[in-house]
Amino acid sequence: MKTITAHAVKDLRLEDHPEPVPGPGEVLIRIANGGICGSDLHYYNHGGFGTVRLKEPMILGHEVAGRIVALGDGVAGLAEGQLVAVSPSRPCGHCAFCAEGRQNHCLEMRFYGSAMPFPHIQGAFRELLVADAAQCVVADGLSPEEAAMAEPLSVVLHAARQAGSLAGRRVLVTGCGPIGLLAVSVARAYGAVEIAATDITDFTLEVARKAGADRGINVAEAPDGLAPDSAGNGRFDVLFECSGVAAALAAAVPAMRPGGTIVQLGLGGDMTLPVQAMTAKELTLRGSFRFHHEFPLAVEMMQAGRIDVRPLVTDTLPLQEAVAAFTLASDRTRAIKVQIAF
C-alpha cells in the first residue's frame, strides 16, 4: 500500500508499505479521503512547529474517512462496506487525565501524524489503515469528503464547549482558515445572534459569509476594521481566535465586551498578550486543545444538516498528486480545505 510520508522540509514521498491485518477489536479501512490540516502543513513547510520537530520519517494525516474492508475478531456494531469517519484520538484510558474524562490531555496519547513524542506516531495518510473499532463512527448519509471533516469539526465543537453557551451572543472569529470557518458555522448552529469574521484575504472572507458570518473584515486592507466595534467599551461576547497570530488577538481585545471570553484555538507559537487591557475588561482566556467526546457529535451534526462542511472543501486531488495538494493547501488565497482522494 502507498503512504504519504514526510522526511524533512519539503521532502514528501509516496512510499510502499506492507498491507496491514486487523487484530482483535480492530478493523481494516480502505481510506477514501483525507484532509490536509495545518499541522500537516507545518511538518511539510517547516519540519514542525514550535519545539515539535520531525526527527524521523513520519506518515502524515489525521483527518480521514473510508470504508471497512475487514473486521478483526470480536468487533460488533460495524460491517464491511460501511463508510466510517475515523477519530485520530487514541488515549490510553488509564492515566490520571483519562480517569478525569480529559482524554484530550492523555499522558500517553497516540494521535495520528504527531511528532510530539519520539518515536513519532505514524499518521493515517495511507491506502489501508488498521484502527480500533472504537475510533470508527458510521457516517451513513454523508459523502467521504464530508466524513473526513469530522476531525476539524470536533476541534471546534470542543472549543465551543470552552466558550459556554453561544445562544444570543455576539461572536468574533479571527482567522478564516478551516478551523475559523467551522467556528463560524458552529456559532451559527448554536444560536449566535451576530457573527463577524476577520482575515487577510477576500477569498476566505467570502467563504466565511457562506458559512454564516454576518460580516467579513479584511484586516490587511483595513487594519482598523474593528474600530467601530470597539466603541462603547466593545461589542463581542466571545472571540474564537483561530489565527495563532498575536496581532490578531491584540486587535480584537478592544472589540470585546467586559466579561467576555476568548477561546484560543490557533497554534502559531508563543504569543505576546495584551494582559493589562484584558485585565481591565475582566476577560477570560480559555485554551482549547484537540477533542475526544465531540467526535461522534460532529458526525451527527453533519448528518442532521446542522453543519454543512461542503463549501470548505475547495479542492480534491488524487494520491499521486500529494505534493501538489500540499502546495495548494499552503496557499490561502486559493484554497480552504484540500483533500486527497486515496
Residue 218 lies in a domain: yes
Picking from 122, 112, 73, the residue whose alpha carbon sits closest to that of residue 91 is: 112
Do 10 and 133 have their domain in common? yes
Residue 323 lies in a domain: yes
Kindly report, residue by residue over 268-278, the tens digit of the pLDDT: 767 889 999 99
In angstroms, the CA 106 to CA 95 distance is: 7
Same domain, 49 and 144: yes
Nearest to 239 by CA among 255, 215, 216: 255
Q: Same domain for 79 and 180?
A: no
The verdict on 215 and 325 lying in the same domain is no
d(CA 239, CA 255): 9
Q: What is the pTM of this model?
A: 0.95
Q: Supply the range of the domain harboring residue 228.
A: 154-287
- Residue 324 resides in a domain: yes
One domain, residues 101 and 213? no
Say which CATH number the domain at 248 has.
Answer: 3.40.50.720
Ranges of residues in the chain with a pLDDT under 70 are: 269
Q: What is the pLDDT of residue 291?
A: 96
Report the chain's terminal Cα–Cα distance, integer Å: 11
pLDDT at residue 80 in the model: 98
pLDDT value, residue 12: 98
> Into how many domains does the chain fold?
2
My answer on whether 144 and 158 are in the same domain is no
The answer as to whether 294 is a domain residue is: no
Asked if 60 and 195 sit in the same domain, the reply is: no
Domain assignment present for 34:
yes
pLDDT attached to residue 84: 98
Q: Are residues 44 and 142 in the same domain?
A: yes
Cβ atoms of residues 307 and 186 within 8 Å: yes
Q: Looking at the structure, do residues 322 and 265 belong to the same domain, yes or no?
A: no
Domain annotation covers residue 298? no
Cell representation of residue 110? 497516540
Count other C-beta atoms under 10 Å from residue 23's C-beta.
Answer: 12
How far CA 202 is from CA of 176, 186, 209, 215, 336, in Å, comes to 10, 21, 11, 12, 12
Tell me: do 234 and 315 sit in the same domain: no
How do residues 231-274 score in pLDDT, each as one tens digit? Answer: 999 999 999 999 999 999 999 999 999 999 999 998 776 788 99
